[in-house]
Amino acid sequence: MISSIKAELRKLFTVRSTYVIIIGCLLIIMLFAGYIEGVRASAASLTNRDLLSGESKSAVLFAGLILAFIGLMQMGHEYRYNTVMYTLTSSNKHLKPYFAKVAVIAVFSIVAGLFMTFFSPLCTIVGLKIGGHGPLIAQNFNYFTIIWRCVFCVWGYAMYAFILVAIIRSQIGAIVTYLLIPLMGENILGLLLKGNMKYLPFASLQTVPSPGMLPGSSPNQSALISSTYIVVGLAVGAYLFLRRDAN
């Protein structure tokens, strides 16, 4: 298993798309948190006690959605460049590469989520200094609560993206599906489900860091719903990986 994890780490950090996506996420955070909410901050922002915690939540909700493409491509490249058979023949057990990818993506997304949680408010603070704004009011920043909710959101995005490509087995198809489900699919279903929209996969995940998005939802309940989707999705992906690729 260790050799499989090392192989997946090499794949993760030797493809150009990993660095392009990371840089893109950092630029997005710097633009919105550093420039718009920092340099161009309004007087009302300076008296907002939840400004910095809000920046952490915004960063993982939007930049985290893009960062998950790294997890999608970790599996998608296998199908795009037809290297999945080489990956399978290099391991004595066919599920080892699958779970090695899951482990690498999970650890990477957790570290990236932790970094974004603090990088976004830091950009806001620096932006406020550059913009010459007055001192920021004392902030409500519960470290434990914000960290676990934000990190869970980034991890969940990465797992959803990985599950989609593992089931669809097409990088392009998974990318389109991954974007359409939260941006269009769940919004349409929400018109029908109304209050039950909180049980949808992406809606439940997004309410973990920001429970105010859906009335009646709680972070713990949303995390449980999202975790259920992820566990079931990973199991289905593993089964299909064995049936369609390992045979």
pLDDT digits (tens, 9 = 90+) for 93-117: 777 878 888 999 999 999 999 999 9
State which amino acid sits at residue 1.
M
d(CA 203, CA 214): 8
Average pLDDT rounded to a whole number, residues 38-49: 83
d(CA 158, CA 71): 5
User: What pTM did the predictor assign?
Assistant: 0.91
Average pLDDT rounded to a whole number, residues 136-144: 85
Average pLDDT rounded to a whole number, residues 199-222: 83
d(CA 201, CA 221): 12
The per-residue pLDDT for 246 is 56
d(CA 244, CA 182): 27
Q: What count of other Cβ atoms lies within 10 Å of the Cβ of residue 72?
A: 26
The per-residue pLDDT for 100 is 86
Percent of the residues in the chain that have a pLDDT greater than 90, as a whole number: 28
The total domain count for the chain is 1
φ, ψ (nearest 5 deg) of residue 8:
-70, -35
Domain residue limits at 26: 2-245
State which amino acid sits at residue 236.
V
> Which of the four pLDDT bands, split at 50, 70 and 90, describes residue 230?
very high
